[in-house]
Chain A
Amino acid sequence: MSWIPFKIGQPKKQIVPKTVERDFEREYGKLQQLEDQTKKLQKDLKKSTDADLAMSKSAVKISSDLLSNPLCEQDQEFLNLVTALDTAMKRMDAFNQEKVNQIQKTVIEPLKKFGSVFPSLNMAVKRREQALQDYKRLQSKVEKYEEKEKTGPVLAKLHQVREELRPVKDDFEAKNRQLLEEMPRFYNSRLDYFQPSFESLIRAQMEMFRGQLAMELEIQEKKP
């Protein structure tokens, strides 16, 4: 609540009870952390998949370079070796590509979707803050009038301001309540949300290496 300009001389009255505020901060803090981590995870996953692809691409490059080496024409054995290597690398690349696609679909996309909830959440929190601000402003106005002498116009003003205050206060409380309800729900939903993603991560790796191993064994058998 630091954005409220501190009026010098006026004790800062806690309009919203401390516990409520604390709860809210805690929940929101958790969600903010979640948001940061989601973003970080997304970035890291992207880097990881890019590195994966780069690795297999460079492997393919190695083997095709070797193939184009004139040495292959001279030495038959060498040629066989290099062709085997080349096939292996190309197949590995294919597997890798597939794995990356799989990861893309099952992990990165869901992550993105998860992340897209956060902007609306942040907007909602901002609105709540605005409502809080209005509420506080009017509340202080009411108090100001209450402190004044109870003269006619003051009373009139007081009534007026009080009436003004009421909807604003209700609005704030509504927002607060809603957010306090929804935020923990959202936070807890992430567990179930991400389970399949992680499982599929493991699976994707496994598939790729399984395929690769099968292929390598095959090549090894072919060699003398």
Chain B
Amino acid sequence: MASYLESEPPSPGESSGDESQGVEATRICEKMKLNQRLAAKELVNTEAKYVHNLQLCASDIRSHLHELPQGDLDVIFSNIDDIIKVNSRFLKDLEKAGSEEEQISLLGNLFLEFQEEMENTYKVYCACYNQALALVETYRKVPKLQKVIHDVITALVPQACASGLSFLLVMPVQRVTRYPLLLQKILENTPPDDEAYEALQRATRAMQEVNSNINEYKRQKEIATKYNKLEHLTVRERLARINTHSISKKTLRLSQLFKQEAGIVTRTFLRIKPYECDLEMEGGAVQQYCCFTRDLHLLVFLEFKQRLERLVYHPLHHLSKALLGPQNLIKKRLDKLLDFERTEEKLAEMGSMTYEEEAIRHTYQALNSLLVSELPQFNQVAIQWLGQILNTLMALQRDLAQQVLQRAERELGQLPHSHVSDFDFRKLIEDTLDKTSAQLQSFCQNFQKVLPVPVRQPLQPAAERQVQALMSKYSPSKLYQVTSNISGSGNLALTLQKGQIVAVLQDRDIKGNTSRWLVDTGGYRGYVPAGKLEPYQVVPHDKPSMQSGSGDGFKFLPVETPRSSTHVAMPVFQVVAAYPFVARSNYEVSLQAGQSVTVLERQDKKGNPEWSLVEVNGQRGYVPSNFLVCVPSPTPWGWSLPTGDSSLSHM
């Protein structure tokens, strides 16, 4: 608190003495008093004008600016109403003073009285002032809005139209900084022994304090915004404030889960659209199901998902973003703490600090006090927020359940079994399913039963007779047919042709090898590989169709194939000469290719099967058996055997 008397013309010990000096002194005194009064008047007048302008700005201008969104208006004008209230009261009290003398003494006390209130209101306004300015700037860039603002201002406050809204907004800021100056001026012109001096002095000091507090407050707020913008993370661990940390971690995880859940739900759940499958099913439960699922997918689930996103996911997202700021600040505080401690050390050593170090100290202190004061509130709000979100989640699920239920009941009501209780329904379903699966089984078997109908080569008459002979000796179940040519090698091995019928005597050989079976070909016995035998179904002669139901299990044999019967019934006559043959002796007879012959005997007098006694064209004679063909067999297997040690004997 510098001495203001120094600005006065020095007159320390002038009370006594010189007339001229005394006159001067009084003159100076008079001047001072005049100045003082003038200053006081100035203060009061400007105050009145100030309040008036504020009111204009707040009520009239603001109400005309309804083009702008309400939130922005709030930011621009912030707590101007509060300021107006405080200042109008202040003004009223100021004007209460009667004479000018009183006014001055009143001034000081009044200021002291209003100090706290002013501080509170103005500090809020000043803190928001920057933001308001920025907003006005952005509006300046939008021509349409700018014009609107301009018009309104021109209409109401003509002298301010040049600089726009910012001119009006800056008034409170200017005012509050002016107070100390005005007060100082008054104080300057007040002699120290004036009764109001003390009050004035205190008032001036108070207003200066107000100003520095406002600055401090502003700095606090600005630190928050400044550091919130910083994105870089420090490597150092955070110490305290586990609350915020864990809330943030959990909410991050939560939002991640929700993202995943929503992602999964949308990706697969909603993608499956069974109602789009066209199974060509007209009526029945399918209709209901189709309607039901279509409803579900297009309406209910979509709605649920949207609500989930809007009411749960986005808030969570915002919450986790909001938590980032404080975290950054906490980190910064730690950094600043280290700086602060460094300056403390320096202070302890040297006792003074440079300006930068002062600044560092202030920063740290500002940050610290900000965090200490605001973090608990913040935590509280965050917890509440989280709780709210969780509640919403549950409510959403409840709604979903309700909706699905409503629809399901509606659809189900149209189905036959709607009245059946759940438990009974399940049993019903199980029974039905059992039945239908049995049905399916039968279908399956049907399809499988289409076994290849073995091309049943009708037997040669000779073979037929052989079969008969075999059958007479053995039971029909022992008869096997050779599936492919067997060439025997080794002891007692038979060489057989495809299609030959044999009877199995034993299904293993002497050594116990089950892959070689002992068979009887009707005349000869020997071993053949078992793999080349398949069971032979004896076809009864006289039946025209081969409808055998059991055993092989072929279901659909041609019903009207008389082939076996025709062939069996025509054993001998359908023998045709395949190649021409020239008779070389009278025992032989000539043949022409394609000629139909009648076979009388299949062997010659000596029993040689290579010659057959045939009758052709009325002539009888022997012809080589090979030259005869008996349809339909592709190879004349019944007739002759190529290899030497085969043993098919004819009867």
Q: From DSSP, what is the main secondary structure of chain B's interface residues?
A: helix
Q: Tell yes or no: B4 within 8 A of A by CB.
A: no
- Min CB–CB distance A74 → chain B (angstroms): 7
- Say whether B408 contacts A205, CB under 8 Å: yes
Residue of A nearest to B408 (CB): A206
- Say whether B576 contacts A156, CB under 8 Å: yes
Q: Please report the C-alpha to C-alpha distance between residue A207 and residue B75 in the assembled complex, in whole angstroms.
A: 53
Number of A-B contacts (CB under 8 A): 261
Q: Please report the C-alpha to C-alpha distance between residue A88 and residue B594 in the assembled complex, in whole angstroms.
A: 93
Q: Please report the C-alpha to C-alpha distance between residue A165 and residue B557 in the assembled complex, in whole angstroms.
A: 16
- Min CB–CB distance A143 → chain B (angstroms): 17
- Say whether A217 contacts B268, CB under 8 Å: no
Q: Tell yes or no: A123 within 8 A of B by CB.
A: yes
Q: Tell yes or no: A32 within 8 A of B by CB.
A: no
Q: Tell yes or no: A13 within 8 A of B by CB.
A: no
- Min CB–CB distance B638 → chain A (angstroms): 14
Collect the chain B residues with CB atoms within 8 Å of residue A170's CB: 453, 558, 561, 563
- Say whether B443 contacts A117, CB under 8 Å: yes
Q: Tell yes or no: A29 within 8 A of B by CB.
A: no
Residue count of chain A within 8 Å CB distance of chain B: 99
Residue count of chain B within 8 Å CB distance of chain A: 93
Residue from B393, B446, B452, B574 having most chain A Cβ neighbours under 10 A = B446
- Min CB–CB distance A182 → chain B (angstroms): 5
Collect the chain B residues with CB atoms within 8 Å of residue A37's CB: 277-279
Q: Tell yes or no: A151 within 8 A of B by CB.
A: yes
- Say whether A71 contacts B402, CB under 8 Å: no
- Say whether B269 contacts A48, CB under 8 Å: yes
Collect the chain A residues with CB atoms within 8 Å of residue B267's CB: 51
If A191-B284, A202-B289 touch, does A120 touch B444 (CB 8 Å cutoff)?
yes
Q: Tell yes or no: A62 within 8 A of B by CB.
A: yes
- Say whether B257 contacts A152, CB under 8 Å: no
- Say whether A51 contacts B269, CB under 8 Å: yes
Q: Please report the C-alpha to C-alpha distance between residue A50 and residue B258 in the assembled complex, in whole angstroms.
A: 17
B interface residues (Cβ-Cβ under 8 A, vs A):
242-243, 246-247, 250, 253-254, 257-258, 260-261, 264-265, 267-269, 272, 274, 277-279, 281-282, 284-286, 288-289, 292, 383, 386-387, 390-391, 393-394, 397-398, 400-402, 404-405, 408-409, 411-412, 415, 417, 422, 425-426, 428-430, 432-433, 436-437, 439-440, 443-444, 446-448, 450, 452-453, 455-456, 555-558, 561, 563, 567, 574, 576-580, 592-595, 629, 631-634
Q: Closest 8 interchain pairs by CB?
A: A152-B594, A163-B632, A152-B593, A206-B408, A170-B558, A153-B593, A120-B447, A213-B401
Would you give 30 A-B contacts (Cβ < 8 Å), ordered by A?
A48-B269, A58-B257, A58-B261, A58-B264, A62-B254, A62-B257, A65-B253, A70-B246, A71-B246, A71-B250, A78-B387, A84-B394, A88-B397, A106-B433, A110-B433, A113-B437, A121-B447, A127-B452, A128-B450, A156-B593, A156-B629, A156-B631, A164-B632, A167-B453, A175-B450, A179-B450, A195-B285, A202-B289, A206-B409, A213-B401
